Amino acid sequence: MAACGARTGLTPSSSPECSIPDAATPLAPPTQPEPGGLACTRIGCTDQIAITIRDARGQELTPARWVVGLDGARLSETGCGSDFDLAGSSITCLDGSLRVSFLGASQPLPSVLEVSVTTTTGLHVDACVAPTYRLVQPNGPGCAPICRQARIELIAR
C-alpha cells in the first residue's frame, strides 16, 4: 500500500492518510461504435472528474485555491478563474466545483485523485479518493462519443 501524500507532496491537514492498492488496474479506453445505420446526434463530451466541495451542513462552497494530484503527478497550485492545462488535462472552476477534463481518447484516466482545497469562506479539505467512472453516451446507445466521467463530493472543515 502506498500513501497518497507521499507521492505528490500534499500534506493532509485534517483527513487520515489515504492508501490505495499498488496494483490498481487502470480503465481501458471504451470502444467507439461502428458507423452504420444509426441516426445519431452530434453532442460532444469529454472524460472528466467533477469535484464538489460542501460544508458540514451540505451547502456547496466555492473553491478559491487548490492543488490536485493525479496518480502521483502533482498539478500546480492555482486559483479559480483561470484554466490550467497539464499534459492533456484541463482544470477549471465551474458552477462552484472543480472540473478536471482529460483530452484525447488514448489517455488513461487516473485511478487516484488527491485534492487540497481552500474555499472562499476559508474552510479547507484534503482528500485522496479513487474515482468511480461511469460511461456517458450523450447521443444514445450505439452512437459516439463515449466518455468516462466521475463525480466526487468532499466536505470542508
- Count of C-beta atoms within a 10 Å radius of residue 38: 13
- Reported pTM: 0.69
Close Cβ partners of 84 (under 8 Å, ≥ 6 residues apart): 75, 76, 78, 90, 91, 92
Q: Are 51 and 97 in contact (CB under 8 A)?
A: yes
Angle (CA) 94-97-98 rounded to 5° is: 85
Cell numbers for 135: 460511461
Sorted by where each begins, the domain ranges of the chain are: 44-155
Q: Are 53 and 154 in contact (CB under 8 A)?
A: yes
pLDDT at 39: 84
pLDDT at 35: 59
DSSP state of 71: T
Close Cβ partners of 23 (under 8 Å, ≥ 6 residues apart): none
Class of domain 44-155: mainly beta
| Arithmetic mean of pLDDT, 90-117 | 77
How buried is residue 83: exposed, middle or buried, by Cβ count under 10 Å (0-12/13-18/19+)?
A: exposed
Higher pLDDT, 57 or 71: 57
In tens, the pLDDT along 23-42 reads 444 455 555 555 556 788 99
